[in-house]
Amino acid sequence: MITRVTTQMSIASATERLQANAARVAEATQRATTLQAIAKPSDDPVGTGSSMQVRKEQAAAAQYTRNADDAVGWLATTDSALSGAHSVLTTVRDLTVQAANSGVMDDTARDALITQFRALKADLESAANTTYGTRSVFAGSSTSPDAYTSGSGFVASTTAVSRRVGDAQTVRVDTPGAAAFGSGTSSVFSVIDGIVADLQNGVDVNPKLNDVDTALGTLRAAQADVGVRHAAALSAQDALKTSSVALETRRAGIEDLDLAGAVLDLQVQQTTYQAALAVTAKVLQPTLMDYLR
């Protein structure tokens, strides 16, 4: 059976083809201007699912990075405070040796030494109250503005402060003040008070050197512990930077288009559309007036 093709059918078919070509040009234009491979989920359901997963991992990595940065800052501040305290305590030891080797001192020399010891104790108290942001680095989970007070010692803290820097990795950032500066009669503050008392009473301070050395050992142990945790935080920070770059590469591979490829596709679609317009114009050129001539 022969099917009769009418002019109206040809026009409808040509219009449909032109609309399809125009739609492809519009889509190519959108891709070239936004450089997004997925404008809506229906464009690529599988790619959309992969993109959502990658973005979820990126959000987690961004939070871990903020945590690692905070841990690095906190521990660097702690390490600096302990280094300063170690320097002060070394000076305390030197002065103690000087006082022990001075023999009988007059009041002026004794008062000068006592003044220096008290100033050094104040420096140690300042180091013990070092803060990072609004938190004291030696107060643990306590929100007290001062980790140490001369009347009551270090504030109590039953909970460690940690930062999660990975799915299964945390870094402790706080350092108990008593673990660094000692507690009770063995604290660096009590040791200095004992030296001052001995000087005031004319007692030989040479035995106090053992106490000072013990305090120095405690401080060095705390420094070593902070150093290990600081190194772990720095390592996590570097790993997260590498991970963030890899995740961004994955995301770009799914969502982003290459500019050159997108422009080339647009040019191809535009050329195809122009060719379709030209062909359609020739096919539909005859009209009723042409037959009436």
Mean pLDDT of 60-82: 95
**Residue 33 belongs to a domain:** no
Give me the pLDDT at residue 217, please: 94
The total of structural domains in the chain comes to 2
Q: Which of 51-55, 74-78, 226-230, 238-242 shows the lowest per-residue confidence on average (mean pLDDT)?
A: 51-55
**Residue 179 belongs to a domain:** yes
Q: Do residue 175 and residue 274 come from a single domain?
A: no
**Residue 155 belongs to a domain:** yes
Q: Do residue 68 and residue 213 come from a single domain?
A: yes
CATH number assigned to the domain comprising residue 224: 1.20.1330.10
Q: What is the rounded average pLDDT for all residues in the chain? A: 84
**Residue 59 belongs to a domain:** yes
Q: Do residue 149 and residue 287 come from a single domain?
A: no
Q: Do residue 63 and residue 154 come from a single domain?
A: yes
pLDDT tier, 46 (very low <50, low <70, confident <90, very high otherwise): confident
Mean pLDDT of 110-117: 92
Give me the pLDDT at residue 116, please: 95
Q: Distance of alpha carbon 238 from its chain centroid, rounded?
A: 10
**Residue 18 belongs to a domain:** no
**Residue 13 belongs to a domain:** no
Q: Do residue 274 and residue 133 come from a single domain?
A: no
Q: Do residue 234 and residue 100 come from a single domain?
A: yes
Question: Tokens standing for 5?
Answer: 């093709």
Q: Do residue 168 and residue 80 come from a single domain?
A: yes
Give me the pLDDT at residue 32, please: 59
Mean pLDDT of 119-132: 94
Give me the pLDDT at residue 8, please: 67
Give me the pLDDT at residue 289, please: 55
Parallel, antiparallel or unpaired: strands 153-154 and 162-166: unpaired
Give me the pLDDT at residue 211, please: 93
Q: What are phi and psi of 166, to 5 degrees?
A: -170, 170
Q: Do residue 109 and residue 236 come from a single domain?
A: yes
Q: Which domain holds residue 289?
A: 259-293
- Model pTM score: 0.76
Q: Which of 6-10, 36-40, 89-93 shows the lowest per-residue confidence on average (mean pLDDT)?
A: 6-10
